[in-house]
Every structure is written in C-alpha cells, then in structure tokens.
Amino acid sequence: MLKLNKTLTLAVAATTLLVAAPAMAQEVKIGFLADVTGPIAGFAPGMVEAGNLAISNINEQGGVLDGQNLTSVVADSACDGGTAGPAADRLVNSEQVVAIFGGYCSGATIAGANGSAIPGNVVMISPASTAPAVAELDDNDLVFRDVVPDSIQGVKAAELLLAQGVTEVGLTYVNNDYGSGLAGAFADAFAAGGGTVLANVAHEDGKADYRPEIGQIEASGATTLVIYGYENAGGGAILNQAVESGSFDLFVGGDGMAGEALVANRDAASLEGMILTQAAPAEGPAFDALVALTEAAGQDPNGTYVTNSYDAVFLLGLAIEKSGSADREGISAALREVANAPGETILPGEWSKAKELIAAGTDINYEGASGSVEFDDVGDVAGAINYYVIEGGSVVNKGLIE
C-alpha cells in the first residue's frame, strides 16, 4: 500500500509539473550557408551577425506563425564548392531547415543549390553571390539573391574606365564563378565600348608568388591593372606584388577588393587613385531603420553586405509567415508576394506590423535596407553601382556610375 501511494504521489507530482511548466516554443530553423572561413572570412562574420539580428527582431516581436521562434543553424561553406556541398547537405537533410540564407561566395551557392537545396525543395537567398552563373541555375524558382549581379557591375566598371579615357587594360581574375563571371562581363563590355584588354589572366588563390601572372600582364604593355579577386587572398597578394613591380599607373578592383581593409592592411599612398566598384549603398527610410537596429545591437550597418544579409533573413521570415506554415512548400511563392510590389510598405524591424497585415490578408511590400527588393523572373534584383577612389589614404565614395 505504501508503495502504491508513493507511486500515485509521484505520478500526480509529475502531472502537476507538466501542467505547471510553460510550453516551450517550437523552433523553425533557417540554415546559414556562411563562408566564415576562406577568402572572405574578413567580412562574413558581420553578415552572420546581421542575419541573426533579423532573427532576434522577429522573435522579440512574437516570432513566426503561432509564436514559434526562428533559429539559425550555421554551416561553414568556406567559399569553396567542395566544402559547400556537404555543408548544405547537413542543413537540408540533417538539420531539416525550412530555408537557407546563403551562400555568400557564388561557387558555394551553386554547389549548395545543385547538391541539396534544389533536390530538397529549399529556398535560398544569397546576399553576396554576384556571378552571372547563379541566374543560370535550373532551380525551380528556389534560388534568389538580393545583391546586384556582376552582369551589371562588370558593365558599369567598363563604362566608367572608358568615360575616364582608359582604353587599354590588363585583367586578372580569381579562377572561380565569381572571378570569371565578373571578368567576362567587364571584358565583353570594355571591348564593345572600343577598349582593349591587352592581357586576360586567371589566378588561383593560396599562392605566395604571383609574379608570373603579373609578368604576363606587364609584357602586354598594360599600365592599368584590373583585379577581380579577394582582398585577403590572391587579389590582395597580386595588388601588393604589382605595386612592388612599379609597372602600373592605375589599379582597379571589384567588390571583392573593396572595403576599409584594403587601405588598413597596406601603404595607402601606394594605392592613390585606385578605383573600386561595388553595389550602391542604400539610403532613405529603410536604411535609416536598419541603422537604428544595428547601432542598438552594437553592429556596423556599413559593413560589407550587412544590409543585404539583414534583408535576406527578414524576407525569409516574412515568407514563412505569409505561407502560413513552416513547411518548405510554398516559401518561394510567398517570398515574391512579400518582397514585390504592390503592398503596404514594411521596413526593417517592422515585424509586428507585417504580421498583423498578413493576418488581415493585406498585401505587404518589404523595402530593404540594401535597396528596393523586387525579384525578377530568375530571382535577381536590379540595382545601381557606385565607384570609390582611394584619395589621401581613404576610400572615398564618388557616387553612382551613370
């Protein structure tokens, strides 16, 4: 009898504990296919932080659906297709994420999409994969990006140089999807505008000596060197060794070379006049809203691809809410509905407002901190390109390339 009473008492206590304990909110996972190591490791952490800030803003305002919390699962793709494949597989098939923020490097995005995301019916939004090849994926409308593609950046860079009277260049590019895509767009537009690419040389990351590649370009007679690579990898090493050679009067770089690290890590005086191109920074109410959010969180709103990263994750949250389910099915269609006009404007951080409007059946139109996000038929956005010039040891924004 004592044993029976003890059993009953324990059972009642356990039941009481279950009733008294608050129900734990379910989690909805978003995968972060993030290149936190490799050639863009210098700015990838800021992109991860921005994505997590979007998740925090959403969870602080009630979470998705019926109060479920978003959570991020990070898989390092190392800016490498061979690494990105298994990383994406873990996110899609082991972690069972609903959607993926990333990849960052174009090769990582392509490998992750083809290997796991597309077969698994998982939407991806890249904040930084600019290679034209991304738009060519047979992706069942699953791969999006909120960054201006290189098909625009390369053309604008060519137009800028030609307008400044530069008609002959030497060109080197990192031998991956990003480098070859950007170099190809530039070379085609430069030639079409009457310019001549005197030398077009691929380079591999990870080498100590790039003098053979530089020598090929020097032998062509080029005095302007266009470098499409990564500042903290082969592109930066080529720049350093090209400066040492003293053969070039002007250096030009793309977004992989842009940023304050370019002048912080080397003698800025030796780079005086260098031209850099990058997607135009956003401005206006949406950007101002993100500035307030990032500053409150101790983050830098002007970090490389920070605005694109926040927008990508916030958009995924909106798409999940709009679809009415944490299932993968329907996220793609919902994403276009929350991103594209028409609809009532939603700014970064305005989760409660968006949630109420969606519940009421009202169309919404998210205006991104990175610029207006209007996905076209292939999941790309239009945008403008700015150029920067190194002057007096600083990277000076010269505005839009008209």
Per-residue model confidence as pLDDT tens digits over 160-192 = 999 999 999 999 999 999 999 999 999 999 999
Confirm whether 247 is domain-assigned: yes
Nearest-angstrom CA–CA distance, 116 and 316:
18
**pLDDT in the model for residue 279:** 86
Letter for the amino acid at 274?
A: M
Can you read off the two tokens belonging to residue 98?
């609903």
Looking at the fold, whether 218 and 97 belong to one and the same domain comes out as: no
User: By residue range, what is the domain housing residue 308?
Assistant: 27-148+283-369
CA–CA dist 130, 221 (Å, integer) = 30
pLDDT at residue 22 in the model: 34
Any domain includes 7: no
Q: Do 166 and 235 fall into the same domain? A: yes
The structural domain count of the chain equals 2
Evaluate whether residue 227 is within a structural domain. yes
Residue 227 pLDDT: 98
Tell me the three state secondary structure of residue 198: strand
Q: 165 and 267 share a domain? A: yes
Enumerate residue ranges in the chain where pLDDT < 70. Answer: 1-25
What pLDDT, on a 0 to 100 scale, did the predictor assign at position 298? 95
Give how far the C-alpha of residue 139 lies from the chain's centroid of Cα atoms, to the nearest Å. 18
- Whether residue 273 is found in the same domain as residue 291: no
Q: What is the pLDDT of residue 19?
A: 34
Is 357 found in the same domain as 267? no
The per-residue pLDDT for 12 is 33
The DSSP bridge partners found for residue 31 are: 73, 100
Do 179 and 203 fall within a single domain?
A: yes
> Do 232 and 354 fall within a single domain?
no
- 267 and 166 assigned to the same domain: yes
pLDDT attached to residue 1: 35
The 10 Å CB-count burial string (b at 16+, else e) for 187-200 is: bebbeeeebebbbb
Report phi then psi at 9, rounded to 5: -60, -45
The answer to whether residue 53 is domain-embedded is: yes
Helix axes of 44-60 and 285-296: crossing angle, nearest 10 degrees: 90
Same-domain status, 123 and 169: no
Q: Which of 146, 124, 143, 127 is nearest to 135 (CA)?
A: 143
